[in-house]
Amino acid sequence: MRKVYEYSHLGGRQILQVDYPRIEAEIDAVIEAVRITERGKVSKEKTKRGKRLYSPKEMNGRFKEEFRARGFVELRDSYTIEIPNHDAKIPGAYKQIDFVKEKVLVEVQFGKYAFMFYDMAKFQYFFNESQADVGVEIVPCHGLHKEMSSGVSYGEQLVYDIERLKRHFPAVPVKVILIDV
């Protein structure tokens, strides 16, 4: 895979460059190491029936292998949900980040747009809990998105929305990386 665009929100790129240059280099090495040479998924969708597409599941698996090989681990915070003026207690809830090293959170997202935006909320959560200094979101660019299932979103939309929200959300430093094959 290759990076086609980087976006820095609230100094995310600068924090990586200054405080975590080794981890930033490892993230770049992971992206370069993920090789997708064939379109392994045959579409059953009405608008793309029979067309060979890139498989999000395969790409996620390759990213997982590469990040784990470099010592990135999962971060999970489990808790019981209790809300004011309500009797319900819901145990077993959790927030989870796929790849973490030191205080750098990394998510690779080949899902629907809502999941990209939810990753921003998870970055915010762990930042607020003092478990993170910066988040890194790795997402497909529009060109790659067109060669995947119709449910997959693209990073340009995420960057566009973050720009419109200005400093209000997420209120955590983030670097968004758009990738292509």
Could you state, in order of their start, the residue ranges of all structural domains in the chain?
2-180
- Least confident among 65-79, 96-110, 141-155, 167-181: 141-155
Confidence of residue 42 (pLDDT cuts 50, 70, 90): low
Report yes or no: 176 and 170 within 8 Å, Cβ to Cβ: no
- What pTM value is reported for the model? 0.91
pLDDT of residue 52: 73
SS3 32: helix
Q: What is the average pLDDT across 102-125?
A: 94
R_g of the chain computed on alpha carbons: 17
Average pLDDT on 124-150 reads 92
CATH code for the structural domain at 2-180: 3.40.91.20
DSSP state of 116: H
Helix axis angle for 21-33 and 56-69, nearest 10°, is 140
State the Cα–Cα distance between residues 6 and 3, nearest whole angstrom: 7
Q: What is the mean pLDDT of residues 148-162?
A: 87
Question: Exposed, middle or buried, 144 (CB in 10 Å: 0-12/13-18/19+)?
Answer: buried
The per-residue pLDDT for 112 is 84
Following DSSP, what letter does each residue of 48-102 receive, concatenated?
TTT-EE--HHHHHHHHHHHHHHTT-EEEEEEEEEE-TT---EEEEEEEEEEEEET
Cβ atoms within 10 Å, residue 118:
15
Determine the average pLDDT of the residues in 111-124.
Answer: 92
- Compute the average pLDDT of residues 13-36: 97
What percent of the chain clears pLDDT 70, i.e. is strictly above it?
93
Residue 46 has pLDDT above 90, yes or no: no
Residue 133 backbone phi and psi in degrees, to 5: -105, -25
**Inter-residue long-range contacts of 157-161, CB under 8 Å, 24+ positions, other chains counted:** 157/113, 157/116, 158/113, 158/116, 158/117, 159/5, 159/7, 161/117
Confidence label for 148 from pLDDT (cuts 50, 70 and 90): confident
- d(CA 148, CA 72) in angstroms, rounded, equals 27
Average pLDDT, the chain: 92
